[in-house]
Chains A and B, each alone.
Chain A
């Protein structure tokens, strides 16, 4: 049981898909201009990852080894089409905002990477937990990036509209004098560089501490 929990939590911090293994960068930077888009993208990826991992894990003894990649791609593409249809029907504003990046979940390296590296070797339950952990890790990373970009670049944090509340939190100071470049492409790349450097520094520091404890 404890080992199962580990499969779930490793994706959130220790093997975070965005900051540690650096997979699926394209949607990460493109859709993080608003928090609500980041959450939508994260939910889409989580859904596709969960179901493709379950299916691939179930089919691992049926799929011949030599054609496994095309088979995985078909499974993934089917679930992406489902996500596209659901978003189109129920969340049209997020569907518009995500645009071409929604069908591009198919080629998101996280999903194919987890199928190849994990789901075709492990049991259904472990694969499902792995998918949920990775999906949550991806969503959290996207949310972090989008909160920073949106609050600096536009001075707002856009959440889902609930009842009479329009879902927009105004950030003081930046609301009046936003740093526009943060919501543009250049700001995304710069921020990603600094965040990655921070996580490198953090893991180095942890490794050094562990060594000191050992010594």
Chain B
């Protein structure tokens, strides 16, 4: 039950982009066409899922027993950078076609706030290992959903007349704002009504 609540929370109620503003840079930068949006979304979901598990293990297995919690930020960012590098190498060897599709997005993910964000949120909310993994995957799904919707909107906007000073980034922000208005319909009452809270 708690797992479903966590999934709903991070996909809809606390959507990483539209509510928490985590991962906004790739959201604006890579959402120009839907193909690269899908690639970026999948790559982020993969990394948030694995990073959640690895960072949870590092924190509870290494930092906490030795009282080194203050090293959290440094340890997590190094783990994520190494993890992204590892994922890149494994993909290159195991599945060249997937590497070709995701390859260019992987180096960008190290500095994506969503990945470090979910790792820190997992610790702050004191989730257990399975809950952390669920939260990581859900955050990635929420990101993917938002970026795919956004890329479709932007593909349509290309065909429409837009004032010169609004072209590109400004109109993308305004569209995202209107999407966020729609996402305000999801709040914690969703969990209460589904008897999950």
Chain A residues packing against B (C-beta within 8 Å): 22-23, 25-27, 29-30, 69-70, 73-74, 77-78, 80-81, 84-85, 99-100, 103-104, 106-109, 112, 181, 184-194, 196-198, 200-201, 204
Chain A residues, Cβ within 8 Å of B21: 25-27, 29-30, 185, 188
Q: Give the distance in Å from the alpha carbon of A85 to the alpha carbon of B18 in the complex.
A: 29
B70 lies within 8 A of chain A by Cβ: yes
What are 30 A-B contacts defined by CB distance under 8 Å?
Answer: A22-B28, A25-B24, A26-B22, A26-B24, A26-B25, A30-B22, A70-B81, A73-B78, A77-B74, A100-B124, A103-B72, A103-B120, A104-B113, A104-B116, A107-B112, A184-B180, A184-B184, A185-B20, A185-B180, A185-B183, A186-B184, A187-B177, A189-B18, A189-B173, A192-B173, A193-B172, A193-B174, A193-B177, A196-B169, A204-B165
Main SS class of interface, B: helix
Question: A25-B25, A30-B21, A103-B116 in contact; A84/B170 too (CB < 8 A)?
Answer: no
Contact of B113 among A23, A107, A185, A201 (CB under 8 A): A107
Give the A-B pair count, Cβ closer than 8 A.
128
Q: Give the distance in Å from the alpha carbon of A147 to the alpha carbon of B149 in the complex.
A: 31
B25 touches A109 (CB 8 A): yes
Q: Give the distance in Å from the alpha carbon of A27 to the alpha carbon of B24 in the complex.
A: 9
Chain B residues, Cβ within 8 Å of A106: 73, 77, 116
A185 touches B19 (CB 8 A): yes
B181 lies within 8 A of chain A by Cβ: yes
Chain B residues, Cβ within 8 Å of A23: 25
Chain A residues, Cβ within 8 Å of B24: 25-26, 29
Chain A residues, Cβ within 8 Å of B77: 73, 77, 106-107
Question: A103-B73, A185-B19, A204-B165 in contact; A196/B173 too (CB < 8 A)?
Answer: yes
CB distance from A71 to the nearest CB of B (A): 11
Question: A104-B116, A185-B21, A188-B21 in contact; A74/B74 too (CB < 8 A)?
Answer: yes
CB distance from B15 to the nearest CB of A (A): 9
Chain B CB count within 10 A is highest, among A29, A108, A186, A188, for A186
B178 lies within 8 A of chain A by Cβ: yes
Extra contacts, 16 of them, besides A109-B111, A198-B165 (Cβ < 8 A), are A22-B169, A27-B21, A70-B81, A84-B73, A103-B73, A103-B116, A104-B116, A107-B110, A107-B112, A108-B113, A186-B183, A188-B21, A190-B178, A193-B174, A193-B176, A200-B170
Chain A residues, Cβ within 8 Å of B180: 184-186, 189
B23 lies within 8 A of chain A by Cβ: yes
- List the B residue with the shortest CB-CB distance to A100: B120
- List the A residue with the shortest CB-CB distance to B114: A26
B117 touches A104 (CB 8 A): yes
Q: Give the distance in Å from the alpha carbon of A77 to the alpha carbon of B73 in the complex.
A: 6
- List the A residue with the shortest CB-CB distance to B181: A186
Contact of A80 among B22, B73, B117 (CB under 8 A): B73
A81 touches B73 (CB 8 A): yes
Chain A residues, Cβ within 8 Å of B120: 100, 103-104
